[in-house]
Amino acid sequence: MTETPASDGREKGVRTTGRRDHVELKEVLFEFRRVGKAIRVAAIDPITNTEVIMVGALGYGRELLKRLAMRKLAYVIRKKRRRGMIR
């Protein structure tokens, strides 16, 4: 996976590969919000309008949380493509 960080909370040029399907996330928007002793991460693909939410521990680094959120986002997009919900 390669990332080129942008200063406005976006990631550009992100590529996530799976064994069966390939999902190229050209741009991902992130939102980080502290909720008690956890961090809530929203990852959004503006091209497909797909959003995923995950919660991680405060001790996890921001980059790890981004990677996990992008992996979940790619999984959801692959699942929607298989069901014909998006292209």
Domain boundaries in the chain? 4-82
Q: Contact, 70 vs 22, CB < 8 A?
A: no
What band does 8 get if pLDDT is binned at 50, 70 and 90? low
Which is it for strands 38-45 and 10-17: parallel, antiparallel or unpaired?
A: unpaired
One-letter amino acid of 84 = G
* pTM of the model as a whole: 0.76
Q: What is the pLDDT of residues 15-67, one digit of tens each?
A: 555 456 788 899 999 999 999 999 999 999 999 999 999 999 999 999 999 99
26-64 residues labelled b (16+ CB within 10 A) or e (exposed): eebebeeeeeeeebebebbbeebebebeeebeeeeeeee
* pLDDT reading at 7 higher than 50: no
One-letter amino acid of 54 = M
